[in-house]
Structure formats: C-alpha cells, structure tokens
C-alpha cells in the first residue's frame, strides 16, 4: 500500500522500522533526536520492540560530554532516558536518572547565561526537555529554574518580534531557518507537558504562560509560510531561494501545532486545516519501504536537500508529528488526512 493511503500509526511503524537498523549506540544529538521520535512511536503504538530498542540503546553507555561539541547537543539523549524512567521508575532504569543528574547538576547549581551556553536556537530542543523532566521527577526546583533563566536569555538574544520567529544564532541574522525554528517550537511542546500547571507555579517558577505565548506567536507566524504542498521551505521567508520541500522543519512544525491543538492551546479552527495539509505533505515524502526523504542534512543554515536525503533527527520529527496527529479526534480532520 502506498504511504499516502496508510493510517497514521501504520506509516509511523513503517518509518520507525526503516530507521531502527541504522541507529546504533551513538548518544549524539543526531541520533538522540531520532530516539525521541522512537519513544513517541512506542507511546503511540505500544509496540514492545520499540521500548526494547530504546532500553538497549540507553543501556549501552551513558550520556557523552566532549569538548568538541556544545554541551546541549550532548544532553539531548537525557530526555529519552527520563521518558523511559518515567514510564517505569524501577531499579533497572535508575542508571538513566543517575546519568542525567550527573550531566545537569553542575549547570543547575550555577546556570550560565543562555546566550553563552545555548547560543544557537537548536539548543532549546536539546537540553531544556531533559531539565524539565528531571525537575518533574525529582521535585528539585533547581533544574526548572535554571532552564527558565537560560531559555529566556536565549530568547531575548535571538527572537525577532517583527517576524515572530528566531534567528539560528547571532552570526546569521539574515535568514529564518525552518529546522532551527522547528527545534524551538518542538522544544516548547516537549517542555510544557512536564511543567507545573499555572495553579501550581510558585515564585520564579511562574513561567508556563510565557512558553504558551511563545508557542502561539511562533505558530501564528508559520501558518502563512506553509506552501501549497503543505510543507515549509528551508529558508522560511525566502521560499524560492531553496524551493525543495524539507521534512525536518516541517515535521517539527506539524508536531508542535498538533500538540498545541490536542492540549487546548491552539485554536483547532485555525490549525486543523494547516496540520492536515502538512501531514499529507509529510507522508508524501515517505517511500513504500519507510524511507523518509527530503531531510536537510546536518547544517547551521538553510540548504537544499533531495528525495534520498534522510537522517535520524528528521525521522524523529516525523514520528513526533505522527504521534500527535494520531491523537486528534476531530472527525473532519480525520476525513481530511485520509483524503
């Protein structure tokens, strides 16, 4: 059956199963972002093989910290470790919690300026979801307070109010990169579920509303930039510069919008047609064997890609999108994505 005709969970299985043999033991952000998606596939399908694969990967060795890469990239795996621990907080999974605490304790005790430590927008997906989960699991407010302090300093440094989007970093203030902004909105959708509700927030922890407002602002800015095929181009405000579709940014946008609708933070009347159109575009990038194409390779700015280009982080974005699209119960939407 063509991927265009597959139900959401079935196409998720096909994409996840294509990717899994190529994952390996690496804990870098490239693979960790893929494992975030595999975790979403497990939570959506409850297929034991996905949880077994995640546990095998996590148990191979811990988080990596090397001087050759910014620290947040090496902490992306933390959110996967902690999602597994939250699913089963048993002694066999305690090593995951210990590994994450070791990686984050120094940062939590003395949080640096976000614009120094999280100086590029991708970092807002890599580290904050782990910090937020660690705070929720331990009840230790240091982790969430550090995340708030650093996140909003990075936001002040990179957000462009006149556009409603963020620059990739301070060196590139000419373009608004799709995947870079995808990392940010997906990061918000990964953080909000584990933050305290507004009625539970106290003192310096009262920031939930600010994340919600940022999600709304950025998603509103993205809606008019969606192309006729349902996808977004790598250079958001200059779509004709690189006209090919791009799967990773489009996947993260679809995920964040669908998560926002499912959690009552975005208006379904506005966003359900956008999400349906985006999902049709995304599934059209999947080959019959489950290969997801048109994923822009590792980069720091907009660039072209091809039908053959794929990467674990692009698959992660697709699976996250599918996990939230599958949750949408609106019957009109269901008919739309089946059309």
Q: What is the mean pLDDT of each run of 10 residues along the chain (339 residues)?
A: 75 98 93 98 96 88 51 93 90 87 89 93 97 96 95 97 97 93 98 83 78 98 98 98 98 98 97 97 98 97 97 98 91 70
- Residue 68's pLDDT is 42
| 284: DSSP letter | T
pTM: 0.95
3-class SS letters over 288-320: CCCCECCCCCCCCCCCCCCCCCCCHHHHHHHHH
* d(C-alpha 175, C-alpha 13), whole Å: 35
Q: Distance between CA 184 and CA 163 in Å, rounded?
A: 15
Of all residues in the chain, what percent are helix, strand and coil, respectively (each to 5)?
65, 5, 35
Helix (H, G, I), strand (E, B) or coil at 187: helix
Residues 227-233: contacts with CB under 8 Å, at least 24 apart: 229/281, 229/284, 230/277, 230/278, 230/279, 230/280, 230/281, 230/282, 231/278, 231/281, 231/282, 231/285, 232/178, 233/178, 233/302
Strand partners, 159: 166
Task: Tell me the C-alpha distance between 309 and 261, whole Å.
Answer: 30
Looking at residue 67, its pLDDT comes to 38
CATH code that applies to domain 3-338? 1.50.10.10
- CA distances for 164 relative to 1, 215, 316, angstroms: 40, 10, 25
Tokens at 139, concatenated: 């009840």
What local confidence, expressed as pLDDT, does residue 103 receive?
84
Instruction: Tell me the C-alpha distance between 77 and 218, whole Å.
Output: 25
Output the CA torsion 128→132→138→144 (10° steps).
90
Structure tokens at 232: 């977004």
The number of beta carbons lying within 10 Å of the beta carbon of residue 335 is 10
Residue 133 tokens read as 């989960």
**Could you state, in order of their start, the residue ranges of all structural domains in the chain?**
3-338
Spell out a b/e string for 78-95, using b for 16 or more CB atoms within 10 Å of the CB, else e.
bbbbbbbbeeeeeeebee
């Amino acid at each position: 059956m063509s991927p265009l005709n597959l139900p959401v969970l079935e196409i998720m299985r096909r994409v996840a199963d294509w990717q899994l043999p190529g994952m390996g033991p690496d804990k870098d952000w490239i693979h960790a972002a893929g494992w975030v998606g595999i975790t979403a596939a497990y939570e959506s399908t409850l297929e034991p093989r996905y949880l077994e694969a995640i546990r095998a990967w996590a148990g191979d060795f811990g988080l990596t910290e090397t001087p050759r890469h910014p620290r947040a990239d090496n902490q992306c795996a933390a959110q996967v470790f902690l999602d597994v621990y939250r699913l089963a907080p048993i002694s066999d999974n305690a090593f995951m919690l210990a590994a994450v605490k070791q990686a984050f304790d120094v940062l939590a005790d003395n949080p640096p300026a976000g614009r120094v430590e999280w100086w590029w927008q991708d970092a807002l997906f890599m580290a904050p979801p782990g910090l937020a989960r660690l705070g929720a699991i331990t009840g230790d407010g240091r982790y969430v307070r550090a995340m708030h302090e650093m996140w909003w300093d990075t936001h002040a440094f990179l957000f462009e109010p006149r556009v409603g989007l963020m620059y990739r970093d301070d060196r590139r203030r000419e373009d608004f990169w799709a995947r870079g902004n995808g990392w940010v909105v997906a990061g918000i959708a990964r953080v909000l579920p584990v933050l305290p509700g507004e009625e539970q927030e106290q003192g310096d922890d009262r920031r939930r509303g600010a994340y919600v407002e940022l999600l709304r602002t950025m998603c509103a800015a993205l809606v008019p930039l969606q192309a006729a095929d349902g996808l977004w181009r790598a250079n958001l405000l200059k779509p004709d510069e690189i006209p090919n579709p791009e799967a990773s940014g489009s996947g993260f946008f679809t995920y964040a919008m669908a998560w926002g609708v499912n959690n009552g933070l975005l208006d379904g009347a506005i966003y359900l047609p956008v999400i349906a159109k985006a999902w049709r575009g995304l599934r059209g990038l999947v080959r019959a064997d489950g290969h997801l194409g048109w994923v822009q390779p590792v980069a720091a700015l907009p660039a072209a890609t091809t039908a053959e280009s794929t990467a674990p982080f692009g698959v992660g974005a697709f699976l996250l999108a599918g996990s939230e699209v599958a949750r949408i119960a609106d019957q009109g939407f269901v008919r739309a994505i089946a059309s």
